[in-house]
Amino acid sequence: MGQKRLENRLKTACCRVALVSLLAFAQGCATLEPIENSENVKQGESYQAQYRATTSDDEAERLRKSSVLMNAQRCAPDQKLGPPGSRMVPPDIDILSPGDLIEISITDDDVISGKYEVSQDGMLRLMHVPPVRAQGRSVDSIEESVRRTLIDEGLYNTVPLVSIRVMDFAPARVFVAGAVFEPGSVTIGSVAATSLDRLRQETAGGRTSARRLARALQSAGGVRPDADLSRVSVWRGGHKKVYDMRPVITGHAYPDPVLLEGDQVEIPSRHCFQEELVAPSAVSPPGVKVFMSNLAVPATSNSQAAISKDTVELRYGTRFLQAVFSLNCVGGTRLTNSNRSAVLFTRNPITGQSIVIERNLEELLRRGDRDNFDPYLMPGDALACYDSSVINITDLATKLGIIGALGVII
């Protein structure tokens, strides 16, 4: 009976080994269907040329197909940027917006003097005198208008001394459109009630640093890599001003005007991918939130792989290969883990079309021209890892009980 039972176990194990061998052979012969994209990724005609598949071209062909050159070929012309000495930024002038708090002091007048808030219609409504327009004007200009109003109303025979100081700048709701990741309305300049600097409020002379153009662009998700920073326009009251903000990327002085309630900001697209814009700056996304799905081996859960429930936040400018390292998708046993691959799901922010990119990680690691095929991650991208064929076969054998059966026999 013992001999018979052993023979049955051997037959069962042999059948299972044969089944796994057949599946492994099928896995090696049969390949998944090629990923279909809505853009011509292969030729580098997608959002960034780094999305195209790796090739084994000769050195001359590689240089000709450099991702930097391929990206630049599609760029619409922009303005010429002068030398650093010519990039003069006008001095800051604090201008008022609805909701700003001010204090007015008039010589020998305790009735009109006091604290006021700029009305929602942009007017400064003082006691016993007609309103004075304050929105979009500097403190010096408003002081002159108040003096003139007091004389015109016959309240003073000689020009009185009028002093205005800003106590607090109110948040402003502005609208941002064009080549940003999250176009729409944003509120800038807001400060939590528990964080108000009372000492600064009680000191003469206010200043705002959070109600500016760069803050509005960053609050709208940051500028996209295709943004034309040489033509950032601000519309106010039917009038447009255009600012060249390219120096913000290189660390030089750049124009950063104060924005007012209701301003409209527009930034056009150059219709190309500019790698120099994919770096932390005052107008870039504060970080890149990426959805990740890690592999089964060696990390058996996202928690062990240091991946949060839904997303991880990476530095803006992170590339695909850097991200898969944080995904715990590279390394391990060379024999079983060296043939892993990873998939990137992204969207063209200009057209909204989805793109799926697959990379063999070992090949990408070993290529000298890897930067040409190592895409930058954009906000909202998703990554997934795939184990190597050896791990897949081992896992299949474990599930069929072959390893256990062989252990019993031995």
Q: Can you read off the two tokens belonging to residue 230?
A: 């040489």
Q: Are residues 183 and 141 in the same domain?
A: no
Assigned domain for 163 exists: yes
The domain tally of the chain equals 3
At residue 324, the pLDDT reads: 87
Q: Is the pLDDT of residue 64 over 70?
A: no
Query: 299 with 393, same domain?
Result: yes
Listed range (85-94, 98-107, 126-135, 342-351) with the worst mean pLDDT: 85-94
> Does residue 312 form part of some domain?
yes
| Residue 294 within any structural domain of the chain | yes
Integer Cα distance of 97 and 264 in angstroms: 14
Tell me whether residue 249 is in a domain: yes
Q: Residue 294 contacts by C-beta under 8 Å, 6 or more apart in sequence?
A: 302, 305, 307, 327, 328, 329, 385
Sign of the torsion formed by the C-alpha atoms of 98, 102, 107 and 113: positive
CA distance 76 to 270: 5
Q: Which helix (H) or strand (E) holds 354?
A: strand 354-360
Same domain, 297 and 264: no
CATH of the domain at 220: 3.10.560.10
The secondary structure of 292-313 as a DSSP string is EE--SSS-SSTTTTT--SSEEE
**What number is the average pLDDT over the span 294-315?**
58
**Residue 56 in tokens:** 């084994």
Does an H or E element contain 19, and which? helix 2-29
Helix and strand element counts for the chain (H, E): 12, 15
Yes or no: say if 75 and 271 are a contact pair by the CB < 8 Å rule: yes
Q: Is 2 inside any structural domain?
A: no
H or E segment at 403? Answer: helix 402-409
232 plus 254 within the same structural domain: yes
Question: Which amino acid is present at 178?
Answer: G
Q: Where are the alpha helices (DSSP H) in 49-127?
A: 59-64, 67-72
Task: Write the CATH number for 157.
Answer: 3.30.1950.10
Domain that holds residue 132: 101-168
What phi and psi values does residue 216 have, to the nearest 5 degrees? -65, -40
105 lies in the same domain as 180 = no
User: Count of CB atoms within 10 A of residue 101's CB?
Assistant: 17
Q: What phi, psi does 203 have (nearest 5°)?
A: -100, 135
Q: Tell me the whole-structure pTM to 2 decimals.
A: 0.76
Count Cα atoms within 13 angstroms, Cβ side, for 17: 10
Higher-confidence residue: 131 or 198? 131
Distance from C-alpha of 142 to C-alpha of 155, rounded to nearest angstrom: 18
Does 96 fall in a domain? no
- For 231-248, what is each residue's pLDDT tens digit? 999 999 889 999 999 999
Statement to judge: residues 292 and 317 lie in one domain = yes
d(CA 260, CA 64) in angstroms, rounded, equals 48
Tokens of 15: 């059948």
Co-location of 162 and 186 in the same domain: no
pLDDT at residue 67 greater than cutoff 80: yes
- 13 assigned to some structural domain: no
- Kindly give the pairing relationship between strand 132-133 and strand 123-124: antiparallel
> 377-394 pLDDT, tens per residue?
999 898 888 875 544 444
pLDDT at 270 over 70: yes
Same domain, 179 and 258: yes
Are 147 and 181 found together in one domain?
no
Percentage of the chain modeled with pLDDT above 70: 69
Residue 49 shares a structural domain with residue 108:
no
Q: For 315-337, what is the HEC assignment?
A: CCCCEHHHHHHHCCCCCCCHHHH
Rounded CA gap, 370 and 360, in Å?
12
